[in-house]
Amino acid sequence: MRITVIGTGYVGLVVGACFAETGNDVVCADVDAAKIDGLRRNVLPIYEPGLEAYVARNQAAGRLTFTTDVPAAVASAEVIFIAVGTPPDEDGSADLKHVLAVAETIGRHATREIVVVTKSTVPVGTADKVAAAIRPLIAHPFHMCSNPEFLKEGAAVDDFMKPDRVVVGVASEFARDRMAELYSPFVRTGKPVIFMDIPSAEMTKYAANAMLATRISFMNEIANLCERVGANVDLVRKGIGSDARIGPAFLFPGPGYGGSCFPKDVKALVKTSHDAGAPMQVLVAVEEANERQKTRLFDKVRAALGGEVRGARVALWGLAFKANTDDMRESPALTLIEALLAAGATVVAHDPAAMHEAERRLGDRITYARTSYDAVAGADALVIVTEWNEYRFPDLARVKAALRRPVLVDGRNLYDPEKVRSLGFTYRSIGRGRE
């Protein structure tokens, strides 16, 4: 099948490479010439495990091409995926100007009957707006479809190739048949393709992310309460996660959620619910709880240092909002860094993938360490911000010897408190009793 994906960000690039992997002819189009030039040389704008190999292999096979000629990419397509950005507007709503601009381009340059798929995360009603933008300009039949993505950063290729489910909103049998054919290689093991109406598909994406964000904020609030009453959140998590009605996923406390999806999608759903006259106060509380949680690491560092951080050198392990990505959007590390700098501390940081992104965002306001052990040399405290595997089993005796003061703030609960304290550390974690 001839597929065009418009937008080569996180979603568009994964979608294009994975569809090419199953034998489709895929064109990925973007107006960013520098990005397209890099992709043609197999230089990816994002870090995502496994994706570079897919891009290189399918370019070499001729199944995947990259172009800045968006009209030509539209003209060649049978199915067009819109995967451009939908950043939050000032009022929290999703900004659809890029999506609607693509819609107009599709209307002007389509050359046959096509399926137009919104892959970007968009509010309910967006497919209707896209159709309204295309309809007066197009000379051929077209069929709208909503196909929200459920890709976890750091595991996106596996999620796409082996999905839990595929959600597809359609309004015609033509679109349903094309999408069923397109996704058939990915659901051979029996995972469902769930067809539904388009508004329900659009809502499903937001509902899923809002639910996961709610679980995270709920467990962070439980962790904070555990500290006050002397309970251990690790045991509480196991106790409630074993309940089949709840399950164990997304119950790990930490410094708050970040990334490109949860913060933006919660804000957008809050705005949608308000505009619809059905305000979701639960999600307002989720968002407020997450913002509070992002300040917890600074509070713990300050307490562990005796109430004063001015002049302290603080080492951070982790800058990305989660492991296996270089994405720093809404990362708790940014909140911590700004608080430390404002309080007069200096910051030295290490991250396996996000160093270039950190330099782009922060410049020379912090110091960047070549290795995790370089980061702790001469520091007054070490803070674990991101749960990268290489931080899970460090040589803690070496870390203690390198630190000027043996202070360790574990924002991901990676270590055993008794073991760390037995080595002589002042140790703080999230929700493991009174500290």
Q: What is the mean pLDDT of each run of 10 residues along the chain (435 residues)?
A: 96 97 97 96 95 98 98 97 87 87 97 96 93 97 96 94 96 97 93 96 95 97 97 97 96 95 92 94 97 97 96 98 96 98 98 97 98 98 98 97 98 97 97 88
Helix extents (H) in 345-426: 355-362, 372-376, 396-402, 417-422
| 111 CB burial (10 A radius; 0-12, 13-18, 19+) | exposed
Q: Give CA–CA dist 409/254, Å, rounded.
A: 12
Domain shared by 243 and 268, yes or no: yes
Domain shared by 151 and 217, yes or no: no
* Contact assessment for residue 109 and residue 75, using Cβ atoms and an 8 Å cutoff: yes
CB atoms within 10 A of CB 87: 11
User: What does each C-alpha distance from 369 to 50, 78, 80, 356 come to in angstroms?
Assistant: 26, 48, 43, 12
H or E stretch covering 218: helix 198-229
Domain shared by 87 and 174, yes or no: yes
Domain shared by 158 and 230, yes or no: no
Residue 360 has which token pair? Answer: 């782009």
Specify if 266 maps to a domain. Answer: yes
SS3 327: coil
Specify if 435 maps to a domain. Answer: no
Quick one: the chain helix, strand, coil %, rounded to 5? 45, 15, 40
Domain shared by 7 and 67, yes or no: yes
Query: Shortest CA distance to 304 belongs to which of 419, 410, 418, 195?
Result: 410
pTM comes to 0.92
For residue 167, the model assigns a pLDDT of 97
Domain shared by 311 and 366, yes or no: yes
Q: Give CA–CA dist 296/284, Å, rounded.
A: 19
Tell me which residue range forms the domain holding 240.
Answer: 205-292
Known active-site residue 28 = no
Q: Which residues contact 142 (CB under 8 A, 6 or more apart)?
A: 106, 110, 113, 114, 115, 116, 131, 134
| Tally of structural domains, the chain | 3
For residue 169, the model assigns a pLDDT of 98
How far from the centroid of its chain's Cα atoms is residue 17's Cα?
18
